[in-house]
Structure 1
Amino acid sequence: RLANAGYNGCEIANMLELPESLSKEFYNGEYYGTLKHNAQGQYQKYVGWFDGNPANLDPLPPEETSKRMVAMMGGAETVLIKAKQAFDRGEYRWVAQLVNYVVFDSPKHAPARYLQADALEQLGYQSESGIWRNFYLSGVEELRHGIDTKVKLAKANAKIGEESMTPELIFQKLAVKVNGPKAAKKADILINFKFTNDNIETNASTKEANQTFPDLYLLSIQNGVLMAYHNKQSEDAQATVHVSQRNLVRILTFKIDVWTFLKGDMIKVEGSSMALVKLLSVLEAPNRLFNIVTP
C-alpha cells in the first residue's frame, strides 16, 4: 500500500508500526529480526533496490561521495564538531551516518573512528534485536581495533558439508568462486565430468555398476561465467574427468594438490589434464574477513 503511494523502503520502514494488539505480546518482540529491517526486505523483493528517485539511480561510490561531502561540509574537523554535539543530544543514528563520511574519506582518522564507534555502541545497547546488536558491535570492534586477520573462523564439518554436496551443488559453489575478469581473458574451458560412486576405490561391484551408469555433467567456462549441464557431454571437451564427487571437492577446495591426485588412481583424465589445472587457476577463495564499516 505505502509503496503504491510512492514511499520508498526507508520511508516505509520508519512509518510502519504493529498494532497494539500485536506489539504488546511478548512473542512479537524484535528479538531476531525487526519490523524496519523486514519492511525494507519486502520492498526490495517486490519493487527492487531503486526507489524511483533518479538522484539514486546511479550514485557515486561511497568513498568518492564521502570525499566530496566532507570537503563540502568544511573538512573532517568541522564535521566532527557537529557530530559530537549531535552525540551529546543522543542523536546516535545521525552521528553514525554523518561520521561515516569522514571514516570513508579518511579511514585512519582516529577521532572519527572512535566517535562513530561510540555512536554504534549506543545503538547496539538500545537494540532489542540480537542481529542488529551484533552488526552494531561488530562495527565497533572494527573501528576500534581493526580486522583481526589471525582469527580462526568456524568451519563446518566436512563430512556433512562440502564433501557431502551433490555434483549440482559443487558446480553452483564453483560458479561463485570463478574470478570472472581473469577467466574471461583465458581461452574457454570445456570439461566432461563422469561422477563415480564414492565407494569406487574399495568396492569392485560398485565400480562396475558406476562404469555402466556414471552421473554425467558438462562444465563450461565462457566469457568468465561457469555453467554446468546435467546429463550432457561434448565431443569438443578438452578433457573427460572420471572422479567421485568427494574427491573432486578435495581437489577444488585445494585440500589435496591436483598433481597428487593425477599421479594416483583416485581420478582418471582422458584428454588434457591441463584443462583441470586451468579450471583451478581461475578459482578464487573468498576472503571472509572483509571490512563492514570502513572502506
Structure 2
Amino acid sequence: MAPRVSGNEVPGTGKGVKRSSSLGLPWWVLVFGGLGVIVLLLPIAGLVSRLEPGRVPELLFSESALVALRLSLLTALVTTVLCVLLGVPLALVLARARFPGRRLVRTLVLLPLVLPPVVGGIALLHTFGRTGLVGEGLEVLGIRIAFSTVAVVLAQTFVALPFMVLTVEGALRAEDAKYERAATGLGAGPSTVFLTVTLPVIRPALVSGTVLCFARALGEFGATIAFAGSLQGVTRTLPLEIYLQRETDPAGAVALSLLLVVIAVVIVAVAYRPKRDRTR
C-alpha cells in the first residue's frame, strides 16, 4: 500500500514542510503589493490625522450636513432603482441577443466609465438644459430638468448605470444558458424564464451591481455640479457640501469626508464578501 502523504508534507520526502500560504509568490510581488496598499491607505490616514474629535458631533449633525446627506441618500436610492430597471434588461440584451452593431452599443453604454464625470455633466446640460437638444422642447411644456433634483438623479444614473450593465453582463456570459433553454423547451415564456431562471442564476452579480451603483451615485460630484449646480436642499449632495466646506470650514470637510469613507467601507464589504475557502 502506498504511504499516505499529509497535506503539509512534500511528496516523496515524508517531511512535514508547510506549504507557502502566499502560493510561492515572488518577493517583489509582495513588496509592490504592499506599496499599493500603502498608496491607497496613506491618504485615509492623513485624513484621520486632521480630524477634530471634539467637533465631530457638531459637524456631522449640522443642518447643512444633514440636508446634504438626506438628499444624497434619497437620490442615490432612486438612481439605484433606475439602474436596476434599465441596466439588467440592457445587460441581458448585450449578453444574449445578436444584432448588428452590438459591439458599438456596448462601447457607447460603457463610455461613462472612462469619461471624466464633468464631461458627462456638460453633455447632459446640452441635452436637457433650457436650450438643449431635448430640454428646449420640454421648456415649451413648462418642464425644467437642469438644476433640479431630477437633474441630480439623471447625472448619477449616467455615471452609475454602466456598473450595473458591466457586472450583470459579465455574469450572464459566464453562466451557461442551458437552464434557460431547458425552461424554454418545457414551454415557459420569455418573461417566465427571465424571472424564474435567469434572475436567480445572476443574483450574486445583481446584488453586487446594485451595491456598486448605489456607491457610485452616492459619491458622484463632477456630473452633478456641471448639470445640477449646488442649491442647498435641492441639488447640493454630500460630495458638493464637502467641496464647499473645504474652503469655509476644513474641519467640517474632513468630518464629512470620513463619513463617506465609512459608508464606502461598508458598501465594499457588502459587495465583495469573500467566498468561504472550502479547500483543505
Larger radius of gyration: 1
**Greater strand content:** 1
TM range (shorter): under 0.3
**Which of the pair has the greater relative contact order for Cα pairs under 8 Å at 6+ separation?**
2
TM-score, length basis structure 1: 0.20
